[in-house]
Amino acid sequence: MTLPPPAELAVFMGQVLVLSMYGLTVSGHFPREFRAPSLTSALGIAVLWSTLAVAACLTVFALAFAWRRVPTYAAVIGGGGMVLIAPLLLQPLPDSFVNGRRGLLVFTALGLGLAALARQLTV
C-alpha cells in the first residue's frame, strides 16, 4: 500500500473540516425562529442562502478533488477524522461568531481559499 500524497490529503482534510464546521454553524439557523436578528433582515437572508449555495458547490468540488487525487482509504480516514473533530473545534468559539453572519462568511471564505489551493495542486 502506497502513502497518499500529503499535500492533496491535507487540503482535502481541510476542506472537510471547514465544510463540517460550516454545516454545524448553518444548522443552528434553522428553523427560522432560531435565527439571530442579524440573519432575519434581507441582507442576512441573502448571506445565509448565498453561503449555503457556495458551500454546496464547494462540497461537490472537494469530493471531485478527492476522487481524482486522494486514495479512497485516505479520504475516508482523513475526512472522517475531520468530521469527528469539527464539533470540538467549534465549541470554544464565541456564540456571537457561530450564531451570526461572521461564522457563515468566514467558513465559506476558508472553503473558497482551500478550493483555490486544491485547484493549484491539480495544475
Q: Kindly report, residue by residue over 11-60, the tens digit of the pLDDT.
A: 999 999 999 999 999 998 888 888 888 889 999 999 999 999 999 999 99
Q: Which three cell numbers stand for residue 108?
A: 465559506
pLDDT value at position 71? 96
pLDDT value at position 2? 81
Rounded to whole angstroms, the Cα distance separating 27 from 34 reads 10
Least Cα distance to 83 among 7, 3, 35, 12 occurs for 12
Model confidence at 74: pLDDT above 90: yes
Task: Find cell 468540488 and name the residue.
Answer: 61
pTM for the predicted model, two decimal places:
0.94
